[in-house]
Each structure stands twice: as structure tokens, then as C-alpha cells.
Amino acid sequence: MDSNLFSRRRAERFAQLLDEANGGRRHHVRSRADDELAPLVAVGQRLATDRPAVAVDPDFRAGLRAMLVATVEREGVGTPAQAATATGSTGARGSLLPAATGRRVRARGAILVGVAAGAVALSGISFASENALPGDALYGMKRSTERAQLALTSSDISRGQLFLDFARTRLDEAATVHGDRFGFGTVLDDMDADTRQGIRLLTTVAAQRSDPAPLDAIDAFLTGQRHAVSGLLDRVDHTYQDRTRRSLALLDVVGRRADGLRAAIACGLPAPAASDALGPAPVSCPGDR
């Protein structure tokens, strides 16, 4: 679990945004985390209006409870305020201690409640909507859950891999709706967009660190995705084949980009200055010219 995401300030801001979204008073602040928290707020609003009729798995509930109890004991939630009252702090500074510690306790409690609610909510939504297709009632919930997953992910490598996972999901959807020309093209557009986002994040990290390891995830993605898109090309009607070939061509470009970047890292070239939708655009090694 990302401790940075659920730091005290982010948890408090998340609570404020939820309160505002549900008609509470507006807080005249703006946080850099607002854009990242917005997908989680959207999921919260959807849960309030369209609760999935899915029971939480008992093992998950028991595990979550154990985690929260352990966190309460470790963080001492509830203890500071009691200790401050017992010591009977006096004076101008002492009189502020109960209020200050109370705020800290409430902040910690809000973090725990947020973690618990988020975990239960996301597990329930994912279970209910994971097989939803474009046009289904729960498809919007499925996409909101994906955005929430991205907001919960702290590193660019993890986000890049998530985008590639979403591209695989879009391909599965395309294989199911290939009889609907508009829906098919829209899903492939989303698939290609997820592919570009994931590739850009992974190639950028690889170039910045001069480390080819993030490129391994790209190679693994291309192996399966090329095979699946080629299979889809054989199944779809000829009117959809041109659109499918464009997605296949994108994967070829991605493969050349990953190979070029790997070669540039191997021969010690600095991080490329040029960049495009797929991330850094490497130049050839001196011996290859």
C-alpha cells in the first residue's frame, strides 16, 4: 500500500473533496494532489448512487479487519488524546495539546477509514464490473475503477504496466464487440491510447535511469499483444481489417522504439533529448551509422 498516497494531508484533502462532492461546504484550498484524487472521488460518488450488489468475500473482510486492527495498535489511534487528558496539561501551550492530538487522531482515523472503504469499494466494483463490455450498465464503473487504480499507483513503472494491462483488456473487449463497427473502432482507439501511455512511461523511466529493465515489460507485452491482434485480424470482417492493421502497425513501431532505446542504453548514450507519444526517441549508436 502506498504510504505517500495516504499521508495525512492527502487523506484530509481526499475527505474534503468527498465532502464537497456530496454537497458539503467548499474548502477554499487547491492541492497538487486534486487531479490524482479526482478519480477516487468519482468512484465514491458512483458508489453512493449505484452500489454494486456484490457481497465482500469473507476472507477478504477478515484479512482487512486484521490489517486495520494491527495498524490501530501500531499507530496508537485513540491513545494520544487519552494520554493528554490523563496528564492534565496546563498553561497556554498545554491547553492546545488535547485539540492538536485530537486532530491527529481524527486524521489517522480518516486514513484508516479511507483505506478500508477504498479497499472494500474497489474490490466490490471490480468483481461486479470486470466482465462489463462497452454499452453495458457497469462499463463506466469498470473504467472508473481503472482510473482509481492508476491514482493508487505511485511509480511510473507500475502505472506503465497498468496501462499495458488495460490495453490487453481493451483487446479482449474488441474481440467480443467486433460485430459492432462503431464500438469496435472506439475500443481499438482506447486500446492504442493505453498502449501509448504505458510505453511512454516505461521508455521514459528506462532512458532516465539508463536501465533497460523497464523495457522487458514492453517486450513481454508485445509478444502476447501482437499474436492476439493478428488473430483478431483473421476473425474480423474485411471492413474492420484496416482499423485492426493500424493497431498492429503501432505495435511494430513500439517494438522498434524499445529495440532502439535498448541499443542506445547498451552503448552508453545519454538520455535522448527528443520525445514523442511513445516517449524518448533514441539516436543510433556511433557504430551503427
Number of domains in the chain: 2
pTM: 0.61
pLDDT at 50: 61
Tell me if 57 is assigned to some domain: yes
pLDDT at 108: 54
Residues 87 and 180 in one domain: no
Cα–Cα distance between 191 and 129 in angstroms, integer? Answer: 18
Please identify, among 112, 129, 146, the residue that sits at the C-terminal boundary of a domain.
Answer: 129
Residues 110 and 161 in one domain: no
pLDDT at 275: 93
Residues 189 and 275 in one domain: yes
Residues 55 and 159 in one domain: no
Please identify, among 84, 112, 129, the residue that sits at the C-terminal boundary of a domain.
Answer: 129
pLDDT at 61: 61
pLDDT at 53: 57
pLDDT at 69: 62
Domain that holds residue 72: 8-129
Tell me if 221 is assigned to some domain: yes
Residue 188 burial class via C-beta count within 10 angstroms: exposed 0-12, middle 13-18, buried 19 and up: buried
Residues 278 and 164 in one domain: yes
Residues facing 280 on adjacent strands: 275
Residues 103 and 187 in one domain: no
Tell me if 124 is assigned to some domain: yes
Tens-level pLDDT at each residue, the chain (289 residues):
444 444 566 777 777 777 777 666 666 667 667 777 777 777 776 666 665 555 555 655 665 566 566 655 655 555 554 444 444 444 444 444 455 555 555 555 555 555 555 554 555 555 556 778 888 878 888 888 888 888 888 899 999 999 999 999 999 999 888 667 668 889 999 999 999 999 999 999 999 999 999 999 999 999 999 999 999 988 888 888 999 999 999 999 999 999 999 999 999 988 888 999 999 999 888 766 5
